[in-house]
């Protein structure tokens, strides 16, 4: 269950969807006019995110790769419909306040992003906790933004007057520009906090998620899908990496022509070698990337 805790921490702090990943900006900017609205939106998204992550992860082996996005959308849309009907039945005032942004959760990029980058390649339980962590991170972020905007823009917090009577509400903060100001300010604050943490020696730069697109620093085992895509999407980068590795192994006897063809299977092998090494040494070392000097090797061959 350590994994679950790590997922929660990841969603709340390390990769907070709003302040770090900057995902789901549309509801973030639009509905956070008050703390209650932010909280409501966050909780609604949390429920959909957790359930859709669980469902997608459970179905990940039967969803064909080529139609995975439509499949995700269908699953997410089902949960959103359920949540919306429940809101209409039991929390009508919140439903009115959030309006069109409830159905729009279907296309929320946090949900689609977590489905694509985590749930589709990980088992159900970690995926569920990934969804809950991300949802909590989103909820906390939206509540904070909504709270600050409500405090400055109306002098209230959760509908109660907290500022002194002499305070004149700064109207711009409940309008759209105020959302940008507050979002930028809070993101800057959390960056400052993380920078302070990094100075003390805590390593906050290493991202521990399933996929950060940073394959060299990634110790995730069993992530075969990513390796394939890695080879297919960015053959130059991949071949440079493989070249570096084979070069280090065979001390300059690499044959560039065959490696350059980016054999996906061999890529997977080499990359898993790196990963195993990293696991053994407990420290994720980045293998030196050496770019082969094509002309010199060719000359050496001739000799």
Partner 1 sequence: MSDLRKISSNPHIRSRSTISGIMAAVVIALMPATGFGIWHFGPRALMLIAISIASTVGTEFLYGLLMKKTTVGDLSAVVTGLLLALNLPVSVPWWIPVLGGVFAILVVKMLFGGLGQNFMNPALAARCFLLISFPALMTDFSYDGISGATPLAALKAGESVNVMDMILGHTAGTIGETSMVALAVGACFLLLCGVIDLKIPGSYIVTFLLFEAIFGGHGFDPAYLAAQLSGGGLMLGAFFMATDYVTRPITSGGQYLFGIFLGLMTGIFRIFGPGAEGVSYAIILGNLLVPLMEKVTWPKAFGKGGKRHEK
Site of interaction with partner 1 (CB under 8 A): 168, 170-173, 175, 177, 181
291: closest CA among 258, 244, 227, 239? 244
Alpha helices in the chain (DSSP H): 2-9, 25-31, 35-58, 68-90, 92-98, 109-117, 124-154, 176-199, 224-233, 235-250, 256-260, 264-281, 294-302
The minimum distance between CB 162 and partner 1, in angstroms, equals 19
189: closest CA among 145, 134, 143? 145
Q: For residue 137, count other CB atoms closer than 10 A to its CB.
A: 27
Residue 4 vs 170, nearer CB to partner 1 = 170
Q: What is the DSSP string of 174-241?
A: GSHHHHHHHHHHHHHHHHHHHHHHHHTT----S--SS--S-GGG---TT-HHHHHHHHHH-HHHHHHH
Residue 39 vs 152, nearer CB to partner 1 = 152
The minimum distance between CB 197 and partner 1, in angstroms, equals 21
Residue 159 vs 185, nearer CB to partner 1 = 185
The minimum distance between CB 172 and partner 1, in angstroms, equals 4
Residue 33 vs 53, nearer CB to partner 1 = 33
The minimum distance between CB 149 and partner 1, in angstroms, equals 12
CA distance 277 to 269: 12
Residue 175 vs 232, nearer CB to partner 1 = 175
The minimum distance between CB 70 and partner 1, in angstroms, equals 38
């Amino acid at each position: 269950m350590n994994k679950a805790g790590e997922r929660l921490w990841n969603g709340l702090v390390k990769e907070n969807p709003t302040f770090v990943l900057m995902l789901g900006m549309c509801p973030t900017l639009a509905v956070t006019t008050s703390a209650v609205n932010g909280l409501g939106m966050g909780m609604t998204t949390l429920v959909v995110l957790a359930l859709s992550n669980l469902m997608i992860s459970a179905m990940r082996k039967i969803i064909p790769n080529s139609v995975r996005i439509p499949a995700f959308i269908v699953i997410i849309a089902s949960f959103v419909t359920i949540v919306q009907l429940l809101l209409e039945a039991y929390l009508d005032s919140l439903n009115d306040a959030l309006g069109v942004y409830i159905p729009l959760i279907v296309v929320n990029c946090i949900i689609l992003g977590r489905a694509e980058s985590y749930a589709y390649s990980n088992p159900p339980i970690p995926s569920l906790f990934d969804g809950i962590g991300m949802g909590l991170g989103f909820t906390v972020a939206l509540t904070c933004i909504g709270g600050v905007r409500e405090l400055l823009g109306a002098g209230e917090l959760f509908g109660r007057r907290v500022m002194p009577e002499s305070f004149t509400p700064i109207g711009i903060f409940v309008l759209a520009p105020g959302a940008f100001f507050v979002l930028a300010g809070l993101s800057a604050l959390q960056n400052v906090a993380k920078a302070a943490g990094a100075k003390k020696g805590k390593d906050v730069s290493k991202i521990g998620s399933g996929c950060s697109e940073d394959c060299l620093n990634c110790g995730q085992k069993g992530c075969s899908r990513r390796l394939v895509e890695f080879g297919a999407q960015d053959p130059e980068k991949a071949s440079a990496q493989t070249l570096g590795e084979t070069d280090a192994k065979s001390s300059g006897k690499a044959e560039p022509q065959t490696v350059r063809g980016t054999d996906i299977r061999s890529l997977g092998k080499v990359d898993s070698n790196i990963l195993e090494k990293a696991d053994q040494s407990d420290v994720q070392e980045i293998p030196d990337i050496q770019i082969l000097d094509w002309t010199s090797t060719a000359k050496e061959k001739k000799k």
